C-alpha cells in the first residue's frame, strides 16, 4: 500500500510517499481503509524534531477517518462498512491520563494515519457523527478534542463567561465553535484582519490583531471592563504565556496547550498566586471525552472549518501551508 513516511527530519523534503507492506491485523484489532487525514502543528514538529522513542521512518499524522474493511478475532464493536475516526491516543479509554497513555499516540510513537490502510485497537475508534463527511470527521481527534477538553471537561465553560483564543489555527477555531455552543463570549486574536473578519462570521464577539496590538492583554482588559477572561486557550507557549496570565480574570483558567512560539521560558508565579488563577496543562483527551464531544457536535450540527483539502499525492503541500501560517482552521488530505 502507499503511505507517507518521515524518512529523515529537519525539512519537509524528508516527508516521502512510499510503498510499504500492508499492516497485519491482530486479535482485537480493526483494519480501516483511510479516506481522509488532517494535519496538526504537532505533525509539522514531527518532521523537524525526533521525539525520544520515535520510529524512523514514521508514518505521520494522528487524525484520520475511514471505513472498516476487516475486523480481527474477538472484535464485537465494529463491522465492515462502519464509518470511523481514530482516537489520538489508542490507549486512553477514560479517566485521568496515565504515563502509559503518552506512549500510545498515532503519528508519535505509533505509526500514524497518512496511509491507505491503518490498524486500530477496537477501542481506539469512534463512529463518525452522521452529518459529517470523512474529510470533516478527520479534523476532530486532536484539535477539536483538545479544545473540548480545555473548555468543557476541565473548564466547565458556561453562558456569559469570556473565552480568549490566540490565533486562528485548528485548536482555536474549534474552541471558538465550542465556546459559542455553550453561550460564552469569545475574544480572538490573529495576525491578520482578514482572518479576524472570518472569525467574526463564525460568531467571535471581539477581535484583536496581535501585530497591531502587541500588548493584546491590555486590550483584553479594556474589552472586559478590567475583569479579564474567564478562560484563556493558551496555544502560544513561552512567547504568549505571560500575557495570557495577565489576561485571565481573578479565579480564571489558563488552559495550557501549545508551543507555537517554542518550548522554553520562565514564568513569574506571582500573578498566578495573586489572581488565584488555575494554569493547567492538558493533552488531547480520552475516547470517552471524544464520544461526549461528538454527541454535542451531532446535536448542534457543528461543521468543522476546513481551510483546504489536498489530494493524497500532494500531502506535503498541506504541511507546507501549515508551516506558512496562511491557513484558517484545518488542513485536510483526501486519501
Ligand atoms: N496539548 C495538546 O493536547 C495539544 C493539542 C493540539 C495542539 N497543541 C498545540 O497547540 C498549538 C496550536 O496547534 P494547532 O494545530 O491549532 O496549530 P495551527 O493550526 O498551526 O495554528 C497556528 C496559528 O496560531 C497562530 N499563532 C502563531 N503564533 C502565534 C502567536 N505568537 N500568538 C498568537 N497566535 C499565534 C497563528 O494564527 P493567525 O494566523 O491567526 O495569527 C497561526 O496560524 C501547537 O503548539 C500545537 O502543538 C497541543
Q: Give, rounded to a whole angstrom, the gap between the first and last alpha carbons of the chain.
A: 12
Quote the cell numbers at residue 64.
484520520
Residue nearest (by alpha carbon) to ligand 1 atom 35: 167
Rounded average pLDDT over 304-313: 98
Measured between alpha carbons, how far is residue 86 from residues 123, 139, 281, 306, 330 in Å?
Answer: 9, 11, 23, 19, 17
Model confidence at 247, pLDDT cuts 50, 70, 90, reads very high
Expressed in angstroms and rounded, the spacing between residue 205 Cα and the centre of ligand 1 is 20
Angle between helices 41-48 and 315-324 (to 10 degrees): 100
322 lines ligand 1 (CB under 6 A): yes
β-strand 63-71 against 29-39: which pairing, if any?
antiparallel
Return the bridge partners of 120, or none. Answer: 30
Residue nearest (by alpha carbon) to ligand 1 atom 23: 169
The pTM is what? 0.97
141 lines ligand 1 (CB under 6 A): no
For every residue of 99-158, DSSP letters joined together read: GGGGG-BBTTTB--S-BSEEEEEGGGEEEPPTT--HHHHTTIIIIIHHHHIIIIIIT---
Q: Ligand 1: which of 37, 39, 41, 151 to mutate, most ligand atoms within 8 Å of CB?
A: 41
Expressed in angstroms and rounded, the spacing between residue 30 Cα and the centre of ligand 1 is 32
The answer to whether residue 262 scores a pLDDT higher than 90 is no
154 lines ligand 1 (CB under 6 A): no
140 lines ligand 1 (CB under 6 A): no
The span from the CA of 268 to the CA of 316, in Å, is: 40
261 lines ligand 1 (CB under 6 A): yes
The span from the CA of 257 to the CA of 24, in Å, is: 35
| Nearest atom (ligand 1) to Cα of 259 | 45
Expressed in angstroms and rounded, the spacing between residue 255 Cα and the centre of ligand 1 is 13
More confident of the two residues 201 and 263 = 201
Residue nearest (by alpha carbon) to ligand 1 atom 8: 258
Q: Are 138 and 85 within 8 A, CB to CB?
A: yes
DSSP state of 167: S
% pLDDT > 70, the chain:
100
139 lines ligand 1 (CB under 6 A): no
The span from the CA of 183 to the CA of 332, in Å, is: 29
> Which tens digit of pLDDT belongs to each residue from 310-323?
999 999 999 999 99
184: burial class by Cβ within 10 Å (0-12, 13-18, 19+)?
buried
259 lines ligand 1 (CB under 6 A): yes
Give the domains, in start order, of the chain with CATH numbers. 2-139+304-334 (3.90.180.10), 144-281 (3.40.50.720)
% pLDDT > 90, the chain:
95
| pLDDT for the residue 89 | 98
Q: Are 110 and 278 within 8 A, CB to CB?
A: no
The answer to whether residue 82 scores a pLDDT higher than 90 is yes
Rounded average pLDDT over 194-222: 98
Q: Ligand 1: which of 146, 153, 169, 289 to mutate, most ligand atoms within 8 Å of CB?
A: 169
Expressed in angstroms and rounded, the spacing between residue 210 Cα and the centre of ligand 1 is 14
108 lines ligand 1 (CB under 6 A): no
The span from the CA of 304 to the CA of 68, in Å, is: 23
Residue nearest (by alpha carbon) to ligand 1 atom 4: 257
Residue 229, by phi and psi: left (phi above 0), alpha (psi -120 to 50) or beta?
beta
The single residue listed with the C-alpha cell 477501542 is 123
188 lines ligand 1 (CB under 6 A): no
Q: Are 235 and 258 within 8 A, CB to CB?
A: yes
> Which tens digit of pLDDT belongs to each residue from 6-64?
999 999 999 999 999 999 999 999 999 999 999 999 999 999 988 887 888 999 999 99
Q: How many CB atoms lie within 10 A of CB 263?
A: 9
209 lines ligand 1 (CB under 6 A): no
> Which tens digit of pLDDT belongs to each residue from 215-240?
999 999 999 999 999 999 999 999 99
The residue among 183, 231, 180 whose CA lies nearest residue 201 is 180
Expressed in angstroms and rounded, the spacing between residue 180 Cα and the centre of ligand 1 is 20
Mean pLDDT (the chain) is 97
> Which tens digit of pLDDT belongs to each residue from 143-186?
999 999 999 999 999 999 999 999 999 999 999 999 999 999 99
Expressed in angstroms and rounded, the spacing between residue 15 Cα and the centre of ligand 1 is 21
The span from the CA of 44 to the CA of 313, in Å, is: 17
The answer to whether residue 110 scores a pLDDT higher than 90 is yes
Q: What are 155-159's contacts with CB under 8 Å, separation 24+? A: 155/231, 155/253, 155/255, 157/182, 157/184, 157/230, 157/231, 158/182, 158/183, 158/184, 159/183, 159/184
Amino acid at each position: 500500500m502507499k503511505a507517507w513516511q518521515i524518512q529523515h527530519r529537519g525539512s519537509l523534503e524528508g516527508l516521502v510517499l512510499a510503498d510499504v507492506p500492508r499492516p497485519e491485523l491482530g486479535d482485537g484489532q480493526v483494519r480501516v481503509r483511510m479516506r481522509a487525514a488532517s494535519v496538526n502543528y504537532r505533525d509539522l514538529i514531527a518532521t523537524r524534531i525526533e521525539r525520544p522513542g520515535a520510529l524512523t521512518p514514521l508514518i505521520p499524522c494522528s487524525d484520520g477517518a475511514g471505513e472498516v474493511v476487516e475486523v480481527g478475532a474477538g472484535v464485537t464493536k465494529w463491522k465492515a462498512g462502519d464509518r470511523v475516526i481514530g482516537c489520538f491516543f489508542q490507549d486512553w479509554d477514560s479517566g485521568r491520563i496515565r504515563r502509559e497513555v503518552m506512549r500510545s499516540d498515532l503519528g508519535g510513537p505509533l505509526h500514524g494515519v497518512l496511509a491507505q490502510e491503518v490498524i486500530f485497537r477496537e477501542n481506539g475508534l469512534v463512529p463518525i457523527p452522521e452529518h459529517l463527511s470523512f474529510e470533516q470527521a478527520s479534523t476532530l481527534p486532536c484539535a477539536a478534542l483538545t479544545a473540548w477538553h480545555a473548555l468543557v471537561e476541565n473548564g466547565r465553560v458556561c453562558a456569559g463567561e469570556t473565552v480568549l483564543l490566540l490565533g486562528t489555527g485548528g485548536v482555536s477555531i474549534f474552541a471558538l465553535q465550542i465556546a459559542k455552543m455553550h453561550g460564552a463570549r469569545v475574544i480572538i486574536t490573529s495576525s491578520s484582519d482578514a482572518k479576524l473578519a472570518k472569525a467574526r462570521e463564525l460568531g467571535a464577539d471581539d477581535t484583536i490583531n496581535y501585530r497591531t496590538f502587541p500588548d493584546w492583554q491590555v486590550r483584553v482588559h479594556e474589552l472586559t471592563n478590567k475583569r479579564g477572561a474567564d478562560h484563556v486557550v493558551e496555544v502560544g507557549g513561552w512567547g504568549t504565556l505571560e500575557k495570557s496570565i495577565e489576561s485571565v480574570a481573578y479565579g480564571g483558567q489558563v488552559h495550557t496547550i501549545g508551543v507555537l512560539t517554542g518550548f522554553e521560558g520562565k514564568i513569574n508565579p506571582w500573578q498566578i498566586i495573586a489572581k488565584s488563577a488555575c494554569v493547567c496543562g492538558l493533552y488531547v483527551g480520552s475516547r470517552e471525552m471524544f464520544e461526549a464531544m461528538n454527541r454535542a457536535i451531532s446535536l448542534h450540527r457543528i461543521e468543522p472549518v476546513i481551510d483546504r483539502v489536498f489530494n493524497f499525492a500532494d500531502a506535503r503541500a498541506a504541511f507546507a501551508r501549515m508551516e506558512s501560517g496562511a491557513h484558517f482552521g484545518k488542513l485536510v488530505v483526501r486519501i
